[in-house]
């Protein structure tokens, strides 16, 4: 295999994943949370493709394509919800939606 | 033939009771009364046939058993519906059905007009059936069945006028005290089953000798407990005076002639067991002696005519217990028979008085009835003389035979003899206190109001009442002539093979006992004459003694304090401390616990999106670590 | 034949639920179905071979169909001598109960009668089940109709009574389910006839828990009084008369037949709890203030006595337990139906309100008196015969137990006489008005057969005792020996 070792790709993937996780956990704006979720998904994609490249098979790439499709669909729904919320002038703050508490 | 007669004897009264119950109001009250009476006389006929049959047989053939069906059976125990026809059972059959028939006949007149007559006669027939079952039973369990059923009949009849609270309470008390006796007898039977494997008389008596003396004593004690309860001996005697709440014929039949003597019958029937436990047999005699003296004392202060006679019954049964306790079985049974005659007579004569005075039973309201009811007075006099034991009436022969046996039984026996002699004095005293107070002297206000001092122009009662009284009067006179000691003793011979006496008094002892007894009795009558006869001297005060006697030695209060109140208290306490917390508390506890757990767990549902996300992330991290570690 | 006995009531229940007939008509149909069940039982009576040696390995009139073959669970039903009598009791009492419901004209009769029939089917199923899972299914199936019957048609405090009843029963049943699963897996089969014994204490206790609640055994009786008080009278009759006997069957068929060591370990404890229950129930009955409560506590006391008989582990004690089960079932049913009839007249069965009812009401007085004296086990009655056998059996374990039992005889006399007098004797209470008439022919038609059976059995208790465990009962030693052999 040409280029850097697999390990570097995985490290980049891990860093991206952590950034995404932190974003989901810490940020309060739903838009940013969705963004962070995207970063996590892409980190996973990177890892998948690296391994695909390592093993020489196509499974990882196909899986990555599937993930991209799912990510796109989920972003559409999420952004749609956010647009709907902002149109109704609701606060775009994840912490304020607490109706389903026990 | 004897056996078939015995079956008819047993089931005729039951058929009568059943018929009266089922036909209910479709027959008149009179018809029901006669139906009952006839059923009991049919039983008597059966008893007579059985008796005659047995007379013709030799000694070995006189024991006949017959099992109609298996009542209860398991692998190791079989109890049949078995009748035993032998001299002892036939004697009891004759007494029960004979005297019983006379009393039921008497009831026709006595209970005439009572709206619940049919029920009364159904109960009376049922009682006769139960008593016959008791005496004809061929095994202990069937005997216990009869035992319990007579207790039931007694409860039904004592509480016959059930709108009176006193009657209902008396009935319950009688039943419960007898239930205690049933329980002790049951315990004795448990031991017998485990030790001998059977409850048939023959098997038990044959195998009992192998039992340890502790167990034998326990068995005998258990049987004695039942006998003491049923025969109202001290300390289980308090139900009998209260039982006088029932109609007078009931008192005559159940609480004088038959049921209360069942204890004596039991001891005679089970005498092999008692002989193997001599301490208990002595105890029986001792209890009898104590009872006969104490009951005599209490009778002295009673003012209800029936209660005097009731305590007299208690006292006389004490004599019987002394007799059988010493092993003088035939003598004890002989007194049982003569006592049935004169005691039933006394009750029935008293019944005539009560009937005539429209229900009055207090002797202080009576007096001078001799002029108004002369025939009743004679009957009562005969009964009293027989009871006191004046020759040649029946009580003389029977009572003195027991006293003679006591004399012949060594030191302990002589102690009992002394008690018996004291009892004879008391008997004379209280009996004639009663007779003089009721029949002699000036007519009381009540008597005058009733008939202006002249003989009742319609006779002293209907023939259904006077004929039985007359018959019993005759029997009370001649009944004793069946056994004149040292002259002829067919009664003793008749019972000899069933229950061989342990003691045979000598001629000298017989004469001595009789002389002393009669002498003492005459003294008693004399004292009664002084205080209650024509002159009516004042009684000595002795208030404290009087109080104790009037309260029957406070035994009732003792039982109340020791059994009844603790039971009530314990029930109430358990209800408060266990039941209420358990019922209310446990479920309240469960639901409270469930609710608390629910809200505690509910704390995890914060509603914050971010905390859920953290939870997912954390869980994922943990799983990753676990997987890596497991690798 | 057994399957027919189980499913006839179920089928009848479905029919009753579906047919849109009015109240009285549907009630008559239900009664007809119940009577048909009685007839079917009588037919089975003649088919049953009572001479055959009793052996747990060979139930009679058996049916078997495989159900979950990989778990070795099958539909296996069959009768033994003793369970046959228990089933007969169930059938008779249920018929009387359905008759009472018909006569009392319950609301929503279709649902009501259907539930009663369903209950009967479940009960017969319990008494015949020879597979543990099947047993559990029927055991739980008894609970559903009871829950609805008490919860919908019950008295003022029915909701609390039902909740208590269901929670207690379910708690016990869940423990039993755990035990069943553990037992089935360890034995490799859930079939009672094929499986061997077990010595596991925990499995044993799981079963005991369920039966201790069902009987009930002290101190698991918290559900008893409220349930009996708030149910409709005929449901109380079935509850106390029949459903409690499911515990008897379970204890005999499962706990006693299958466990060796745990029985020895726990015999004394269980006997002690039963004896306490006997005395406790009797004393509380003695101070209870109305017919229903007296009957409820007396039921607890009698079940304690029956459990004593079972755990005497002697053939004579077991015989006594079965005889007493039948006797008590009939007695309890009669008393609850009588209580219901009193309540219909006076609105209450409390002694303070009643009294003096014997005057002018010979039928009521006779029936109540007869049932009452049999209930207190007057010597000569069937209840006495049962009690006597039980106490003889337990005497072999220790004389103390027999003494306690004998003492309970006196207590029973005390509370039953109080009940009789409270209703019949003394002065008339406020509820004992002239309009509270004597028993009508319809009521007599219900009660007289029950009382008649009691009298018949009092004259011939051997009818049952000779045919419950014919010939020798295999005791633990023989059973252990048989299992040890390959």
Q: Which residues of B touch A25 (CB under 8 A)?
A: 610, 613-614, 617
3-state SS of chain A? CCCCCHHHHHHHHHHHHHHHHHHHHHCCCHHHHHHHHHHHHHHHHHHHHHHHHHHCCCHHHHHHHHHHHHHHHHHHHHHHHHHHHHHCCCCCCHHHCCCCCC
Q: Inter-axis angle of helices C2-18 and C23-47, to 10 degrees? A: 170
Contact (Cβ atoms closer than 8 angstroms) between residue C10 and residue C92: no
Task: Report helix, strand or coil for C311.
Answer: helix
Greatest distance between any 2 Cα atoms in chain A: 54
Q: Do C378 and B176 touch (CB under 8 A)?
A: no
Closest to B217 (Cα-Cα) out of B290, B281, B263, B270: B281
Percent of chain A's residues with pLDDT above 90? 64
Task: Report helix, strand or coil for C377.
Answer: coil
Contact (Cβ atoms closer than 8 angstroms) between residue B256 and residue B320: no
Mean pLDDT of A2-27: 90
Give the tokens for residue C285.
Answer: 């009955």
Greatest distance between any 2 Cα atoms in chain B: 124
B544 and B563 both lie in a single domain: no
Give the tokens for residue B37.
Answer: 């009476």
State the Cα–Cα distance between residues B231 and C63, nearest whole angstrom.
58
B424 and B569 both lie in a single domain: no
Q: Give the pLDDT of residue C455.
A: 93
State the Cα–Cα distance between residues B549 and B535, nearest whole angstrom.
25
Summarised one tens digit per residue, pLDDT across range C212-249 is 999 899 888 888 988 999 999 999 999 999 999 999 99
B439 and B574 both lie in a single domain: no
B379 and B489 both lie in a single domain: yes
The DSSP code sequence of C2-35 is HHHHHHHHHHHHHHHHH----HHHHHHHHHHHHH
Q: Which residues of C touch B21 (CB under 8 A)?
A: 366
Contact (Cβ atoms closer than 8 angstroms) between residue B385 and residue B457: no
Give the tokens for residue B237.
Answer: 């005697």
Give the tokens for residue B438.
Answer: 């009721």
Closest to C192 (Cα-Cα) out of C266, C260, C243, C128: C128
The DSSP code sequence of B446-471 is HHHHHHTTS--TT-SS-HHHHHHHHH
Answer whether residue B33 is part of any domain: no
Answer whether residue B569 is part of any domain: yes
Cα B132 from chain centre? 14
How far is A100 from chain B, CA to nearest CA, in Å? 5
B475 and B445 both lie in a single domain: yes
Q: Which residue has the higher pLDDT, A49 or B391?
A: A49
Q: Is B69 exposed, middle or buried (0-12, 13-18, 19+ CB in 10 A)?
A: exposed
Q: Do B186 and C388 touch (CB under 8 A)?
A: yes
Q: Give the pLDDT of residue B538.
A: 61
Torsion over CA: B215, B219, B222, B228 (sign) = negative
Answer whether residue B90 is part of any domain: no
Answer whether residue B414 is part of any domain: yes
Q: Do C471 and B75 touch (CB under 8 A)?
A: yes
State the Cα–Cα distance between residues B285 and B295, nearest whole angstrom.
15
Q: Do B72 and C389 touch (CB under 8 A)?
A: yes
State the Cα–Cα distance between residues C414 and C403, nearest whole angstrom.
17
User: Could you tell me the CA-to-CA distances from B87 to B54, B105, B201, B427, B513 in Å, in that order?
Assistant: 7, 27, 15, 31, 28
Cα B409 from chain centre? 28
Contact (Cβ atoms closer than 8 angstroms) between residue B262 and residue B230: yes
CB pairs under 8 A between B and C: 160
Answer whether residue B294 is part of any domain: yes
Domain ranges, residue B465: 278-550
User: Could you tell me the CA-to-CA distances from C259 to A22, C178, C199, C265, C393 in Å, in that order?
Assistant: 60, 16, 6, 11, 20
pTM: 0.86
User: What is the pairing mode between strands C73-79 and B78-85?
Assistant: unpaired
Q: Give the pLDDT of residue C473.
A: 44
Listed in sequence order, the residues at least 6 apart from B304 whose beta carbon sits closer than 8 Å to its beta carbon are B244, B361, B362, B363
B343 and B419 both lie in a single domain: yes
Give the single-character DSSP code of B302.
-
B358 and B486 both lie in a single domain: yes
Contact (Cβ atoms closer than 8 angstroms) between residue C357 and residue C425: no
Closest partner residue to B617 (CB to CB) among A21, A99, A102 is A21
User: Could you tell me the CA-to-CA distances from C171 to C174, C185, C212, C296 in Å, in that order?
Assistant: 5, 22, 11, 22
3-state SS of C217-232? CCCCCCCHHHHHHHCC
Give the tokens for residue C423.
Answer: 């209703």
Show the low-confidence residues of chain B (pLDDT under 50): none
Q: Do chains A and B touch (3 or more CB pairs under 8 A)?
A: yes
Q: Do B609 and A95 touch (CB under 8 A)?
A: yes
How far is B577 from chain A, CA to nearest CA, in Å? 38
State the Cα–Cα distance between residues C457 and C380, nearest whole angstrom.
10
Q: Do B180 and C410 touch (CB under 8 A)?
A: yes
Q: Give the pLDDT of residue A11.
A: 94
B448 and B464 both lie in a single domain: yes
For C439: left if phi > 0, alpha if psi spans -120 to 50, otherwise beta; the answer is beta
A61 touching chain B per CB within 8 A? no
Answer whether residue B543 is part of any domain: yes
Q: Do C466 and B73 touch (CB under 8 A)?
A: yes
Torsion over CA: C223, C229, C232, C236 (sign) = positive
User: Could you tell me the CA-to-CA distances from B406 to B320, B499, B520, C153 in Å, in that order?
Assistant: 11, 17, 16, 72
Q: Do B601 and A102 touch (CB under 8 A)?
A: yes
For residue C219, say if its preceding peptide bond is cis, omega within 30 degrees of 0: yes
Give the single-character DSSP code of B233.
-
Asked which of B530, B550, B570 is the last residue of a domain, the reply is: B550
State the Cα–Cα distance between residues A68 and B571, nearest whole angstrom.
78
Contact (Cβ atoms closer than 8 angstroms) between residue B171 and residue B158: yes
Closest to C102 (Cα-Cα) out of C150, C158, C32, C37: C32
B366 and B506 both lie in a single domain: yes
Phi, psi torsion values for C60, nearest 5 degrees: -100, 165
How far is B74 from chain C, CA to nearest CA, in Å? 6
Predicted confidence (pLDDT) at residue A94 exceeds the cutoff of 50: yes
What is the domain count for chain B?
2
User: Could you tell me the CA-to-CA distances from A34 to A21, B266, B514, B620 in Å, in that order?
Assistant: 11, 101, 125, 20
A94 touching chain B per CB within 8 A? yes
B617 touching chain A per CB within 8 A? yes
Distinct helix (H) and strand (E) counts, chain C: 20, 2
B585 HSE (CA, 13 A, CB side): 9
Task: Report helix, strand or coil for B311.
Answer: helix
The DSSP code sequence of C174-187 is HHHHHHHHHHHHHH
Q: Give the pLDDT of residue C86.
A: 93
Which chain B residue is nearest to residue C317, measuring alpha carbons?
B74
Strand partners, C299: none
B546 and B577 both lie in a single domain: no
Q: Give the pLDDT of residue C14.
A: 92
Q: Do B609 and A99 touch (CB under 8 A)?
A: no
Give the single-character DSSP code of C353.
T
Q: Give the pLDDT of residue B74.
A: 82
B559 and B513 both lie in a single domain: no
Greatest distance between any 2 Cα atoms in chain C: 73
Show the low-confidence residues of chain C (pLDDT under 70): 470-486
B473 and B560 both lie in a single domain: no
């Amino acid at each position: 295999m040409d280029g850097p070792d697999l390990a570097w790709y995985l490290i980049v993937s891990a860093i991206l994943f952590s950034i995404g996780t932190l974003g989901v956990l810490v940020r309060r704006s739903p838009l940013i949370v969705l963004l962070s979720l995207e970063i996590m998904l892409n980190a996973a994609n990177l890892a998948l493709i690296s391994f695909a490249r390592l093993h020489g098979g196509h499974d990882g790439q196909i899986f990555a394509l599937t993930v991209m499709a799912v990510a796109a669909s989920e972003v559409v729904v999420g952004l749609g919800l956010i647009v709907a919320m902002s149109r109704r002038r609701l606060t775009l703050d994840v912490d304020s939606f607490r109706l389903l508490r026990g | 033939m004897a056996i078939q007669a015995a079956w008819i004897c047993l089931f005729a009264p039951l058929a009568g009771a059943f018929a009266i119950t089922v036909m209910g109001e479709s027959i008149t009250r009179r018809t029901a009364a006669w139906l009952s009476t006839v059923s009991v006389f049919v039983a008597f006929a059966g008893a007579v046939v059985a008796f005659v049959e047995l007379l013709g047989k030799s000694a070995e053939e006189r024991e006949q058993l017959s099992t109609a069906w298996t009542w209860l059976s398991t692998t190791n125990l079989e109890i049949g519906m078995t009748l035993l026809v032998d001299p002892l059972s036939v004697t009891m059959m004759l007494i029960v059905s004979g005297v019983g028939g006379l009393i039921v006949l008497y009831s026709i007149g006595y209970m005439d007009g009572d709206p619940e007559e049919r029920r009364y006669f159904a109960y009376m027939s049922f009682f006769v059936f139960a008593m016959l079952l008791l005496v004809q039973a061929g095994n202990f369990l069937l005997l216990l069945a009869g035992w319990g059923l007579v207790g039931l009949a007694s409860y039904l009849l004592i509480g016959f006028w059930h709108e009176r609270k006193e009657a209902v309470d008396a009935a319950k008390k009688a039943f419960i005290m007898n239930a205690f006796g049933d329980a002790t007898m049951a315990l004795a039977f448990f031991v017998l089953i485990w030790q001998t494997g059977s409850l048939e008389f023959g098997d038990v008596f044959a195998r009992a000798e192998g039992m340890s003396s502790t167990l034998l004593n326990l068995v005998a004690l258990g049987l004695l407990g039942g006998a003491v309860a049923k025969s109202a001996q001290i300390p289980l005697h308090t139900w009998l005076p209260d039982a006088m709440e029932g109609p007078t014929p009931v008192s005559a039949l159940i609480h004088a002639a038959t049921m209360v003597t069942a204890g004596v019958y039991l001891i005679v029937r089970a005498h092999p067991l008692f002989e193997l436990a001599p301490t208990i047999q002595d105890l029986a005699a001792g209890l009898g002696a104590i009872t006969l003296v104490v009951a005599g004392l209490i009778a002295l202060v009673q003012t209800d005519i029936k209660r005097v006679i009731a305590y007299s019954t208690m006292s006389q049964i004490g004599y019987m217990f002394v007799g059988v306790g010493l092993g003088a079985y035939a003598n004890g049974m002989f007194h049982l028979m003569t006592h049935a005659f004169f005691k039933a007579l006394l009750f029935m004569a008293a019944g005539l008085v009560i009937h005539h005075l429209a229900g009055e039973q207090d002797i202080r309201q009576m007096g001078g009835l001799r002029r108004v009811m002369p025939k009743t007075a004679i009957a009562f006099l005969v009964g009293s003389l027989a009871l006191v034991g004046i020759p040649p009436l029946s009580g003389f022969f029977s009572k003195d035979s027991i006293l003679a046996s006591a004399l012949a039984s060594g030191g302990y026996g002589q102690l009992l003899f002394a008690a018996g002699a004291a009892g004879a004095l008391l008997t004379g005293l209280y009996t004639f206190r009663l007779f003089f107070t009721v029949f002699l002297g000036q007519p009381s206000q009540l008597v005058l109001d009733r008939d202006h001092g002249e003989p009742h122009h319609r006779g002293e009662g209907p023939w259904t009442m006077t004929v039985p009284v007359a018959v019993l009067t005759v029997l009370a006179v001649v009944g004793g002539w069946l056994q004149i000691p040292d002259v002829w003793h067919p009664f003793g011979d008749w019972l000899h093979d069933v229950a061989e006496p342990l003691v045979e008094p000598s001629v000298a002892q017989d004469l001595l006992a009789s002389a002393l007894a009669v002498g003492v009795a005459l003294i008693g009558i004399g004292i009664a004459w002084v205080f209650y006869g024509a002159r009516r001297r004042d009684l000595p005060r002795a208030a404290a003694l009087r109080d104790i006697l009037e309260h029957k030695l406070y035994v009732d209060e003792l039982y109340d304090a020791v059994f009844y109140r603790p039971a009530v208290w314990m029930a109430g306490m358990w209800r408060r401390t266990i039941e209420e917390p358990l019922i209310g508390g446990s479920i309240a506890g469960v639901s409270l616990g469930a609710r608390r757990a629910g809200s505690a767990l509910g704390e995890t549902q914060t509603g914050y999106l971010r905390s859920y996300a953290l939870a997912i992330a954390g869980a994922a991290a943990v799983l990753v670590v676990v997987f890596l570690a497991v690798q | 034949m057994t399957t027919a006995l189980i499913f006839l009531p179920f089928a009848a229940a479905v029919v009753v639920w579906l047919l849109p007939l009015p109240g009285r008509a549907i009630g008559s149909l239900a009664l007809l179905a119940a009577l048909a069940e009685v007839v079917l039982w009588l037919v089975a009576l003649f088919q049953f071979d009572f001479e055959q040696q009793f052996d747990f390995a060979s139930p009679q009139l058996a049916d078997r169909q495989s159900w979950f073959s990989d778990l070795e669970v099958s539909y296996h039903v069959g009768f033994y001598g003793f369970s046959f009598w228990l089933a007969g009791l169930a059938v008779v009492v249920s018929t009387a109960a359905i008759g009472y419901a018909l006569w009392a004209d319950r609301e929503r009769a279709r649902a009501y009668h259907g539930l009663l029939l369903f209950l009967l089917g479940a009960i017969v199923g319990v008494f015949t089940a020879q597979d543990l899972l099947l047993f559990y299914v029927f055991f739980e199936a008894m609970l559903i109709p009871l829950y609805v019957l008490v919860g919908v048609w019950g008295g003022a405090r029915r909701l609390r009574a039902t909740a208590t009843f269901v929670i207690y029963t379910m708690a016990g049943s869940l423990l039993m389910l755990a035990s069943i699963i553990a037992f089935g897996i360890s034995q490799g089969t859930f079939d009672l006839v094929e499986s061997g014994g077990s010595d596991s204490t925990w499995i044993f206790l799981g079963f005991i828990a369920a039966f201790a609640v069902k009987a009930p055994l002290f101190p698991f009786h918290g559900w008893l009084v409220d349930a009996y008080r708030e149910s409709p009278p005929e449901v109380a009759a079935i509850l106390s008369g029949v459903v409690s006997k499911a515990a008897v069957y379970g204890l005999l068929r499962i706990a006693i037949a299958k466990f060796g060591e745990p029985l020895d370990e726990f015999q004394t404890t269980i006997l002690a709890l039963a004896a306490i229950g006997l005395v406790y129930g009797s004393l509380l009955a003695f101070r209870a203030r109305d017919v229903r409560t007296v009957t409820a506590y007396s039921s607890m006391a009698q079940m304690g006595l029956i459990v004593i008989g079972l755990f005497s582990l002697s053939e004579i004690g077991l015989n006594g337990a079965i005889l007493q089960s039948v006797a008590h079932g009939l007695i309890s049913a009669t008393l609850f139906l009588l209580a219901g009839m009193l309540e219909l007249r006076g609105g209450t069965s409390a002694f303070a309100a009643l009294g003096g009812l014997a005057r002018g009401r010979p039928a009521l007085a006779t029936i109540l008196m007869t049932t009452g004296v049999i209930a207190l086990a007057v010597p000569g009655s069937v209840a006495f015969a049962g009690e006597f056998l039980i106490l003889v059996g337990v005497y072999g374990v220790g004389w103390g137990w027999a003494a306690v039992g004998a003492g309970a005889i006196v207590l029973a006399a005390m509370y039953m006489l109080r009940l009789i007098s409270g209703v019949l004797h003394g002065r008339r209470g406020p509820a004992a008005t002239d309009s509270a008439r004597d028993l009508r022919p319809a009521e007599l038609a219900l009660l007289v057969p029950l009382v008649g059976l009691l009298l018949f059995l009092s004259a011939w208790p051997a009818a049952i005792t000779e045919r419950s465990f014919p010939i020798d009962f295999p005791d633990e030693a023989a059973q252990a020996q048989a299992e040890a052999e390959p």
